[in-house]
Structure 1
Amino acid sequence: MAEKTLKDVAEIMKDLDICMLTTTTSNGMLASRPMSNNGQVEYDGNSHFFTWENSRMVSDIEMDNGVNLSFQGKKDIYISITGKAEVTRSREKMEEHWVEELNAWFEDGLDTQGIAMITVEAKQIKYWQGEEEGEVKF
């Protein structure tokens, strides 16, 4: 298995916007949903997603914060990130990651009632492209 650095993965991820975020539900099943990575080019091992605080995804994370992010891109690139998620409702923390494109989903921006942000801290990152595969060690 090839050794990849976080910088290597960040370079690959800069063109990958949509991922599937997988949580464990209250009945022990896995649930995945598409989330926008907001084109954050400077990936540092943390991913940030905006959502509704009363969503099933938030309740899943508050019950079991182990999650997986899966990305697929051009030229058969696949990235799997296993991590721990945290939900915040802090406007100050959300401001750091807000981009104008999010106004399409949250009409009043950060003043939208019920908005929350999920931060996923990577614990393991795996990468596949063709015959090559790699892993970022933390």
Structure 2
Amino acid sequence: MAEKSLKEVAAKMKQLDIAMLTTQTGKGQLTSRPMSNNGDVEYNGNSYYFTFEGARTVKDIDENAHVNLSFEGPKKLYISINGKAALIRDKAKMKEHWVKDLEVWFENGLDTPGVVMIHVKAERIKYWQGEDEGEVKI
């Protein structure tokens, strides 16, 4: 498997918004759900997603911070990112990644009760596109 730079893979990810975020439950089951990175597509090894404090995703991350993100893009592009998730509740940090479109889900913006941000820091990235495949180790 060829090794690529983070910059090369980030260029492939530029138009990708939706990821499937996979966590592991306390019973060892894998659970995936679609998450939007809110148009924050300048990928640098960090991904940010908003959810509610009471979501199963938050409980899973509290129990096991190891997660996976998977993306599918044009021209048969597939990307899998293994990383570690952290929960951010600091409004000033959340504001850096907030976009107005999120108010569809979070009616009062960052003042919506229970809003929390998930930060996924990549540890390893694998990608496939046609005959080209590779890996980035962070």
TM range (shorter): over 0.9
2:14 matched to 1:11? no
Q: Deviations over 1:82-126 (max 9, x none)?
A: 000001111011011111111111111111111000000000000
Q: How many residues align?
A: 138
Query: Mind listing any 5+ residue stretches in structure 2 that lack a counterpart?
Result: none
Moved over 6 A (4+): none
Alignment of 1:1-138 (within 5 A): 1-138=1-138
Calculate percent identity across the aligned residue pairs: 63
TM-score (norm 2): 0.97
SS at match of 1:54: coil
1:17 maps to amino acid:
D
1:30 maps to amino acid:
L
| Matched-pair contact (CA < 8 Å) for 2:16–2:41 | no
TM-score (norm 1): 0.97
| Matched-pair contact (CA < 8 Å) for 2:2–2:135 | yes
Query: Mind listing any 5+ residue stretches in structure 1 that lack a counterpart?
Result: none
Q: How far is 1:52 from its partner?
A: 0.3
User: Quick one: distance in 2 between partners of 1:24 and 1:94?
Assistant: 24
Q: How far is 1:33 from its partner?
A: 0.2
User: Quick one: distance in 2 between partners of 1:2 and 1:27?
Assistant: 35
User: Quick one: distance in 1 between partners of 2:10 and 2:52?
Assistant: 27
| Matched-pair contact (CA < 8 Å) for 1:19–1:69 | yes
